């Protein structure tokens, strides 16, 4: 599910893209621990975004009271051609799947959106 303001999402080269916003979702982790599952998830993002790189190592995070990981990524938006900042926070559900949040903002506006991203993450309640 993607939350983005009007005009910040759409189709580009046949793919759904967003330039500002937060995406939340769940992917199968295949029995991997949180670190391995997060590595794989970020790897999948990087394969579909060839300009993406990890700007920082992992730091600890919390999602709905669960242990999580946070990583900052850099990318050049295919839609705008401008640098963007991507914040990824992950945690695992009780059945071992990976719950993720991905926040995207243009690099020069990232600080403006940071508190909103934090509020979104704080509002998440996982009840599995």
Q: Where are the domains of the chain?
A: 22-123
Please, which residues bridge with residue 26 across strands? 99
Residue 113 has pLDDT above 90, yes or no: no
Task: Answer yes or no: are the C-beta atoms of 74 and 107 closer than 8 Å.
Answer: yes
47-72: pLDDT as tens digits? 888 889 988 889 999 999 999 999 99
pTM for the structure as a whole: 0.88
Residue 92 has pLDDT above 90, yes or no: yes
Instruction: Name the CATH topology of 22-123.
Output: Protein Transport Mog1p; Chain A (3.40.1000)
Rounded Cα distance between 55 and 23, Å, is 19
What token pair was written down for 6?
Answer: 């009007």
* 6-15, 35-44, 96-105: least confidently modelled range: 6-15
22-49: pLDDT as tens digits? 999 999 998 889 999 999 999 999 988 8
Give the pLDDT confidence score for residue 21 in this predicted structure: 86
Ranges assigned E (strand) in 19-82:
21-27, 53-54, 59-63, 66-76
Q: Which residues contact 32 (CB under 8 A, 6 or more apart)?
A: 40, 96
Residue 14 has pLDDT above 80, yes or no: no
């Amino acid at each position: 599910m993607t939350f983005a303001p009007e005009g910040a999402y759409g189709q580009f080269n046949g793919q759904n893209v967003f330039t500002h916003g937060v995406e939340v979702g769940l992917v199968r982790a295949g029995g991997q621990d949180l670190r391995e599952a997060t590595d794989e998830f970020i790897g999948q993002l990087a394969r579909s975004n060839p300009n993406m790189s990890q700007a920082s190592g992992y730091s600890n995070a919390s999602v709905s009271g669960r242990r999580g990981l946070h990583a900052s990524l850099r990318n050049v938006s295919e839609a705008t051609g401008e640098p963007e900042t991507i914040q990824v926070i992950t945690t695992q559900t009780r059945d071992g799947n990976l719950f993720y949040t991905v926040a995207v903002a243009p690099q020069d506006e990232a600080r403006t959106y940071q508190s909103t991203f934090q509020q979104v993450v704080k509002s998440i309640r996982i009840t599995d």
